Amino acid sequence: MGRVLPAWCWVLCCWGCVAPKGLPYFLEEPEDRTVAANTPFNLSCQAQGPPEPVDLLWLQDAVSLAATVDHSAQHTLRVPGLNKTASFSCEAHNAKGVTTSRTATITVLPQRPRDLHLVSSQPTELEVAWTPGLSGIYPLTHCTLQAVLSDDGVGTWLGEPDPPEEPLTLQASVPPHQLRLGKLHPHTPYHIRVACVSSQGPSPWTHWLPVETPEGVPLGPPENVSAMRNGSQALVHWQEPRAPLQGTLLGYRLAYRGQDTPEVLMDVGLRREVTLELRGDGSVPNLTVCVAAYTAAGDGPWSLPVPLVLWRPGQGQPIHQLVSEPPVPAFSWPWWYVLLGAVVAAACVLILALFLVHRRKKETRYGEVFEPTMERGELVVRYRVRKSYSRRTTEATLNSLGISEELKEKLRDVMVDRHKVALGKTLGEGEFGAVMEGQLNQDDSILKVAVKTMKIAICTRSELEDFLSEAVCMKEFDHPNVMRLIGVCFQGSEREGFPAPVVILPFMKHGDLHSFLLYSRLGDQPVFLPTQMLVKFMADIASGMEYLSTKRFIHRDLAARNCMLNENMSVCVADFGLSKKIYNGDYYRQGRIAKMPVKWIAIESLADRVYTSKSDVWSFGVTMWEIATRGQTPYPGVENSEIYDYLRQGNRLKQPVDCLDGLYALMSQCWELNPRDRPSFAELREDLENTLKALPLAQEPDEILYVNMDEGGGHPEPLGAAGGADPLTQPDPKDSCSCLTAAEVHPAGRYVLCPSTAPGPALPADRSSPAPPGQEDGA
């Protein structure tokens, strides 16, 4: 290559190759792992330059193991075994210097126990023993034994890591290395295995050992023992015991004795009927018979003695003899009476059944039109619809509601038989419906549920459709932080001709989040809620709302009162009575006036009745404020009709006392004027989870103190902590849902807090900066 400078000068250059050189870098580094004590294992480490060559040096617990090895010849370290947990790393050396790999921790666990065997067995107990494996320098703390019932197909799963059924798990202190398992079933096969635990962790499980409990004696006597005399013969009859046999039934033993004769015992085998041939012409008074079942383990309990009056046999002759094959005696007169009575009784039952079936058909068709009463000598015909026994199908029930075809089609997938639902006490009741505790009878269990009903007589058809749309909406949800739907059924209404809808939901042990927060602060026995728990509540709600937003659902009524707490103290987003699914675009415009929670609604929704997922983000910020203040009402002293003007002036909720600055910064971002500047639920969930991880472990204080702060203004009474109402004047928690009102209605009668300063400027454009303190709401 070349270029012309002056006319008389040329500068020439040639192509070249530049090879960078530096410290070695690793292609493979040692990894953490667990090994059994004194068990050989390998570690790998591989590095390269340039420049080459690269030599490796292994270190154990920061101490060199051997001289530097040639990388090309060896990059695997073979360890013959360890008796304690150690760390390994390797160094790569070349002409430019040394690079150190990551440090791998090798945890030493106990070896698999050996020689698991059965020591002794009883019908309900098994005693097993085993030999522990080596555990290095760490002594064994205990051993865990698992037992599971075997079945006919046990051979198909013995090679798999776990049996098909949930095992029974027991712990045994060591030594001694043996354990007695009690409360087992007699004559039942089991499979057991054992693992031992040290401070470093558990050993591998042993292989499953098949064992079996021995047989036991029957737990109950034979049933319905009877002894009848027919001429010169006596017939003894009984039925198999109802109680568990606890083994294989081998037969029955029959015992009899008279008033002046010793007891005689005989084995009658598996027969349940024995005929005794009576001999002699004398009477034997007070003869009694009893029967017992027996297995290989012995005799079960005897039945109660059954009396039988027999004729005394002649002197020197036995009272009776056992007939090997029961003869067929000629019927004597008592048998005819028994047979005739049975035939007459069967005929009466059949006639009664036919009459009831015919009457039921007529009542089902006409609703008890005809009544057997007479007025003025004439037959009275009356018709009462609500007494009808009509069995309307699901299709007829849905048609009677007058709802859309699309909604009816979706409801068919979640219909539940009303007779399987038992209602209990009322958990809460509102203007249009109630929530009651209930039980759902399933095929093999009874499930505790919450049952949401609706007062049809005071609701319009459109409100009924909204109620059912909520159920169909919840049917599509499957997330741990979103309330799921169990089913929908209908129950008869005394005031209307069509049934009332019933929505079946999971039972939430701790109720709604708002009441929980309120009672923790104002209850008879206040409960301290640490910041870690409050942040966990916020993260759960954010996770549930993130799921809803990915499903293109707008909640439109997100608040602490509409979030439920389950038994694990996890929050589930609930109450989708105002939710809408976005099928086209990313917004929803409300077409008719509905009761809306104005203090939770975004400013653009108040103005234009337009809702997006970012509108739910605004509501989530208010819900975070509710949680941080432990259930206080937002914007106290501000009328619902004044909220829109109040927000347009740039006012926002004030930072609660003891609220982390980072949490309030997230709230402020949720209340940005421009919806595009608000974070998504995915971002909120991630920020809250990171905040939760950064917090220390929760510690409960010795006592709880709430301080009333004077916010000034025109209100005659001081405001409570974080600007809320004083706890002594806080509304009753049961009335916490009274904040729902129509956006177009301006009800009077509420107190008004006059601001002490003039209205501030509009919201700042910076998303991350909160509103000025002087312009924030007093709550």
Confidence of residue 700 (pLDDT cuts 50, 70, 90): low
Q: Which residues sit in the known binding site?
A: 452, 561-562, 575
What pLDDT is attached to residue 557? Answer: 86
Residue 721 has pLDDT above 50, yes or no: no
- The reply to whether 417 belongs to the active site is no
Contact indicator for 110, 135 with CB cutoff of 8 Å: yes
Burial 380-399 (b: 16+ CB within 10 A, else e): eeeeeeeebeeeeeeeebbe
Residue of 466, 512, 540, 557 marked active site: 557
Judge whether residue 508 has pLDDT over 70. Answer: yes
Q: Tell me the residue type at 487.
A: G
Domain ranges of the chain: 25-108, 110-212, 223-326, 394-506, 513-695+704-758+765-775
- Please report the pLDDT score of residue 320 as a whole number: 44
d(CA 548, CA 542): 10
* SS3 at position 558: coil
Burial class (CB in 10 A: 0-12, 13-18, 19+), 339: exposed
Q: What is the CATH number of domain 394-506?
A: 3.30.200.20
Task: Give dist(CA 151, CA 248) in Å, integer.
Answer: 17
Q: Say which amino acid occupies 130.
A: W
Q: Which helix (H) or strand (E) holds 348?
A: helix 333-366
Pair 283, 312: CB distance under 8 Å = yes
Q: What is the pLDDT of residue 420?
A: 84
From residue 664, alpha-carbon distances to 152, 535, 697, 756 in Å are 62, 12, 21, 23
pLDDT of residue 404: 78
Element (H, E) at 194: strand 189-198
Q: Each residue of 238-266: pLDDT tens digit? A: 999 999 988 899 999 998 777 777 788 88
Would you place residue 202 in the very low, low, confident or very high pLDDT band (cuts 50, 70, 90)? very high
Task: Please check the confidence at residue 591 and state whether its pLDDT lies above 60.
Answer: no
Lowest-pLDDT choice from 67-71, 248-252, 484-488: 67-71
Q: Under a CB-based contact definition with an 8 Å cutoff, are residues 222 and 239 in contact? A: yes
- Same topology, domains 110-212 and 223-326? Answer is yes
Looking at the chain, the whole-number percentage of residues with pLDDT higher than 70 is 68
**Secondary structure element (H or E) that encloses residue 662, with its range:** helix 661-670
- Asked if 508 contacts 572 with a C-beta cutoff of 8 angstroms, the reply is yes
Q: How confident is the model at residue 7 (pLDDT cuts 50, 70, 90)?
A: low
Name the superfamily (CATH) of residues 25-108.
Immunoglobulins (2.60.40.10)
The residues, ordered by sequence, that sit 6+ positions from 239 with a Cβ below 8 Å of its Cβ are 222, 223, 224, 272
Indicate whether 764 pLDDT > 50: no
Question: Distance between CA atoms of 453 and 568, rounded to whole angstroms?
Answer: 26
Question: In the predicted model, is pLDDT for residue 156 greater than 70?
Answer: no
pLDDT band at 195 (very low <50, low <70, confident <90, very high): very high
Which residues are annotated binding-site positions for Mg(2+)?
Answer: 562, 575
**499 band by pLDDT with thresholds 50, 70 and 90:** low
Question: Topology of 223-326 in CATH?
Answer: Immunoglobulin-like (2.60.40)
CATH, range 513-695+704-758+765-775: 1.10.510.10
Beta strands in 76-166, from DSSP E residues, in sequence order: 76-79, 86-94, 97-100, 104-109, 114-122, 125-131, 140-149
Homologous superfamily assigned to 110-212: Immunoglobulins (2.60.40.10)
pLDDT (average), residues 519-539: 91
Binding residues for ATP: 452, 561
> Which single residue is written with the structure tokens 């728990």?
533
Q: Are 615 and 598 within 8 A, CB to CB?
A: no
> Across all residues in the chain, what is the average pLDDT?
75
Residue located via tokens 């309990």? 301
Asked whether residue 628 carries a pLDDT value surpassing 90, the answer given is: yes
Beta strands 55-60; 69-70: pairing state: antiparallel
Instruction: Tell me the pLDDT band of 498, cut-offs 50, 70 and 90.
Output: low
| Percent residues over pLDDT 90 in the chain | 38
